[in-house]
Chains A and B, each alone.
Chain A
Amino acid sequence: MEPAGAVSGACQWGVWAGADGWDMNSSAIAVSGLRKTYGDKVVLDGIDLEVRAGTVFSLLGPNGAGKTTTVNVLTTLLKADGGTARVAGHDIDTEAKAVRSVIGVTGQFAAVDELLTGQENLQLMVDLLGVNSGEQVIAGLLARFDLVESAQKPVSTYSGGMRRKLDLAMTLVGKPKIIFLDEPTTGLDPRSRRTMWTIIRGLVADGVTIFLTTQYLDEADQLADRIAVLDQGKLVAEGTPDELKRQLPGTHVRLRFSTVEELDAAARIFTDSTRDDEAMDLRVPSDGGTKSLRAVLDRLDEYSISAEEFSVHTPDLDDVFLALTGHNTEVAAK
Chain B
Amino acid sequence: MSAQNHSIVMLRRNFKHITRNPTSVFNAVLMPVVIMLMFVYMLGDAFNVGVDYVDYATPGLMLLAVCYGLGATATAVNSDMTKGIINRFKVMDVSRGAVLTGHVIASLLTNLIAIAAIIGVGFLLGFSPSASFVDWLGVIGLVVLLGFAAGWLTVALGLFAKSPETAGLAAVPLVMLPFFSSAIVPADKMGAGLKQFAEYQPFTPIIETLRGLLNGTPAAGDVIPALAWCVGIALVGYLWARSTFAKRA
List A residues at the B interface (Cβ < 8 Å).
72, 75-78, 97, 100-101, 103, 105, 107, 109-116, 120, 124-125, 127-130, 154, 170, 174
- B92 interface contact, C-beta 8 A: yes
| A100 near B13: Cβ-Cβ < 8 Å | no
Known contacts A109-B84, A111-B83; 15 further A-B pairs (Cβ under 8 A)? A72-B249, A77-B87, A77-B90, A78-B249, A100-B93, A103-B91, A105-B88, A111-B87, A112-B85, A113-B85, A128-B1, A128-B92, A129-B92, A154-B20, A170-B88
| A174 near B85: Cβ-Cβ < 8 Å | no
The size of the chain B interface, using a CB distance under 8 A, is 22
Known: A120-B16, A130-B1. A107 touches B83 (CB 8 A): no
How far does the Cβ of A295 sit from chain B's closest Cβ, in whole Å? Answer: 51
| B9 near A124: Cβ-Cβ < 8 Å | yes
How far does the Cβ of A138 sit from chain B's closest Cβ, in whole Å? Answer: 15
- B162 interface contact, C-beta 8 A: no
Closest residue to A120 on the B side, CB-wise?
A: B16
24 pairs from A and B in contact (CB 8 Å cutoff)? A75-B91, A76-B90, A77-B87, A77-B91, A105-B87, A107-B87, A107-B88, A111-B83, A111-B87, A113-B85, A114-B83, A116-B16, A116-B20, A120-B16, A125-B92, A127-B9, A127-B12, A128-B6, A128-B89, A128-B94, A129-B92, A130-B5, A170-B88, A174-B93
How far does the Cβ of B18 sit from chain A's closest Cβ, in whole Å? Answer: 9
Please indicate the chain B residues that have their CB under 8 angstroms from the CB of A97 in the complex.
93
Pick the most buried of A75, A103, A107, A111: most chain B CB atoms within 10 A of its CB.
A111
List B residues at the A interface (Cβ < 8 Å).
1, 5-6, 9, 12-13, 16-17, 20-21, 83-85, 87-94, 249
How far does the Cβ of B87 sit from chain A's closest Cβ, in whole Å? Answer: 6
Closest residue to A174 on the B side, CB-wise?
A: B92
Known: A111-B84, A128-B6, A128-B9. A105 touches B16 (CB 8 A): no
| B20 near A115: Cβ-Cβ < 8 Å | yes
Contact of A107 among B1, B9, B84, B93 (CB under 8 A): B84
